[in-house]
Structure 1
Amino acid sequence: MSFSPLIQQLITALRCLPSVGPKSAQRMAFHLLERDSEGALALSEILQKAVAEVGHCRQCRTLSEHELCEICKSESRDRSILCVLESPVDVLAIEQTGGYNGLYFVLSGHLSPIDGIGPEDLGIDKLLDYIHATEINEIILATNPTVEGEATAHFIAAQVKELGIKVTRIAHGVPVGGELEFVDGGTLAHAMAGRRSLL
């Protein structure tokens, strides 16, 4: 059975979302059309508004509807520490921990020569300009613990090496509450290499 062209277009449009396959998109489309037409209209309206009004913060490059995001505008943030991340969703993840009070810089991805993504595509030149123009004492490289994330972190560290700024990398290893027998070898190796003294 084939759907009407408009329904098929809706299903196809919903597949642009991450992890949404044909069946999930079909269920969403029918739910919105049959059971929640008000929700569908509200979703359509706010989606159009968000796409039109949300851009990137001029300073840290996270998503914001203002020229400067709330974090960059805040006077209570520690402006001597800069955390470098791959995406705006990573900013949210770190903010939710409540354990960091510095500033951020979002790269919009990681180095990937195979995909043709180089330093100029990530805004690393903007990161270096930002570091030169401010009084940063420490840069925390919080890129993902993937091959590309590690390569990106090492590339940035090499670029700022001459500036005399402390460069640190987030630790990764055994999760809190995890059991060693269920942790993969790569994670255990990182945990062993990043061990610290208790006394």
Structure 2
Amino acid sequence: MKHSPLVQGLIDAFTCLPGVGPRSAQRMAYHLLERNREGGRHLAAALGQAMDGVRQCERCRNFAEGGLCPVCADSRRDQGQVCVVSSPADVIAIEQSGEYRGRYFVLLGQLSPIDGMGPRQIGLDQLEEQVQAGSINEIILATGTTIEGEATAHYILEMVAGTAVTVSRIAQGVPMGGELEFVDGATLAHAFRGRRPV
């Protein structure tokens, strides 16, 4: 038996979410239709408001509801220090640490030619404009340690070569409280390469 067009449309809509296949989407749709129609209406309203009201910050590409995101609009932040991250979720993670007081630049992806993600698609042309304008004196690379993350970091390093901008990379390696026996070899190798004097 097939679903009615409206039910099938709802199921299909849920499959746009990462990690949600047809079965999971069907469970979600059935749950809302059987037990929580008010929750479904609230979800629909929140989705509509977010899709219409959330845009990219003009300066850093993070999520914003106005021209600038709250970080870029905060004059107390170090405007010359920019941490380059892959996604808005990375900004939240760094902000929760309470250690960083500069601005961000959110790539919304990483260099991946296979996926059609080149320098322009991840906003590196905008970052280069900011570097050329002289508004940045330090870039902190906080991209992942995947091949794409490393390629992105290398591209940015090459992009700012010959400018007065200093570039650093966040430390990577053994997590706080971690036992060495449970840390993988690649992470340990990274930790040894990034060691510093005590």
TM-score for the superposition, normalised by structure 2: 0.95
Q: What is the letter of the counterpart of residue 80 of structure 2?
A: S
Give the equivalent residue in structure 1 for 2:126. 126
**How many residues end up aligned between the 2 structures?**
198
**CA deviation string 1:54-91 (max 9, x = no partner):** 11110111111101111111011011210011112211
One-letter identity of the residue aligned with 1:3: H
1:171 match: secondary structure: coil
Match status 1:4 vs 2:23:
no
- What does residue 30 of structure 1 align with? 30
1:15 counterpart residue number: 15
Equivalent residue for 1:177? Answer: 177
Q: Which runs of structure 2 are paired with 1:180-199 in the superposition (5 Å)? A: 180-198=180-198
In structure 2, the partner of 1:63 is: 63
AA in 2 matched with 1:150 = E
Amino acid at match of 1:114: I
Task: After TM superposition, give the deviation of residue 126 of structure 1 in Å.
Answer: 0.7
- Cα distance in 2 for residues equivalent to 1:12 and 1:94: 35
Where does residue 107 of structure 1 map in the other structure? Answer: 107
Residue 104 of structure 2 aligns to a residue whose secondary structure is strand
Shift in Å, 1:169: 0.8
Map 1:28-177 to 2 at 5 A. Answer: 28-177=28-177
Relative to structure 1, the CA distance from residue 45 to residue 162 in structure 2 (aligned partners, 3 Å threshold; closer, same or farther) is same
Q: Which moved more, 1:127-136 or 1:72-81?
A: 127-136
| Paired amino acid for 2:170 | I
CA distance in 1, matches of 2:162, 2:173: 29
Long gaps (5+) in structure 2: none
In 2, Cα distance between equivalents of 1:30 and 1:83 = 43
Alpha-carbon distance, 1:166 to partner: 1.1
Q: How far, CA to CA, are the matches of 2:177 and 2:29 in structure 1? A: 39
SS in 2 for 1:175: coil
Deviating above 6 A after TM superposition, structure 1's stretches of 4 or more consecutive aligned residues are none
Query: Deviation of residue 20 (structure 1)?
Result: 1.3
Question: CA offsets, 1:91-114, max 9 Å, x none?
Answer: 111111111110011112111122
Q: What is the alpha-carbon distance in structure 2 between the residues aligned to residue 87 and residue 146 of structure 1?
A: 14
The alignment's TM-score, normalised by the length of structure 1, stands at 0.94
| RMSD, aligned CA | 1.3
Q: Distance in 2 between matches of 1:174 and 1:5?
A: 52
**Distance in structure 2 (CA, Å) of the matches to 1:114 and 1:45:** 36
Amino acid in structure 1 at the alignment position of 2:32: L
Structure 1: gaps of 5 or more residues: none
User: % of aligned pairs identical?
Assistant: 57
